[in-house]
Amino acid sequence: MKNQTEHLKKTAKKKTLQLKREMDRFYKKHILNSNDPVIIILKTHLYLENCIDRFFLKILPCPDRILKKSFSVKIDFFEALKLGYPPDNTNVVKKLRQINRIRNLFSHNLEKRLTKPDISELIKNIRLDKKAPLTFKLKRALQHFIGYFHALLALNDFFPFLQTYLRNKEIFKQDKGWNNKLMINYPLDDVLTVLTALKMD
């Protein structure tokens, strides 16, 4: 048991560092050094769509048709499947929809300028200097959101059954085999502690 736990920790650390490097590369290349909100939103929109596609590839037996849909439809599927954490993923979905809304505003109006109402949902509950420029606030909010998705991807890499459990917790509680400590060694308490810390308010 001890060796198994140590192996899990090492694997988790390795995968987490790998995803962190991926996230850092994207952030530094496409967000940190850009002051153009149009570029920032478009790049982040594409990146988050890629993250959602990766979720679908992990949990759906036949994801191909969904992967060809628009980002808006993918958000609907993400919400319907209760992906992310908590399974009542209302706040995550709101932020995804706002990013999609801003992206569409920029795409269809060449004169569009970023306004505070545009990013109100994204910056909610994030500590920011009220006097900071809107573009800076946008960057910080997107950095936080991208980090959230990377953490979820890492956890689902380690525990592919995790989303199924979270969506159907009450059913699993009735399963004697699932609750038999001699039959299962799945560190749910530890995983749920991590997820609670990641909760997108």
Cα–Cα dist 66/29, whole Å: 29
Q: Which domain holds residue 124?
A: 2-198
What's the pLDDT at 108?
85
pLDDT in tens, the chain (201 residues): 456 556 656 766 776 677 778 778 888 887 888 888 888 888 899 999 999 999 898 888 889 999 999 999 999 999 888 887 666 678 889 999 999 999 998 888 888 888 888 888 888 777 778 788 888 888 888 888 888 888 788 777 777 666 676 666 665 566 665 555 554 555 556 555 655 655 555
What's the pLDDT at 82?
81
Domains identified in the chain, total number: 1
Q: Rounded to 5 degrees, what are φ and ψ at 59?
A: -110, -15
What's the pLDDT at 140?
85
For residue 100, the one-letter residue type is N
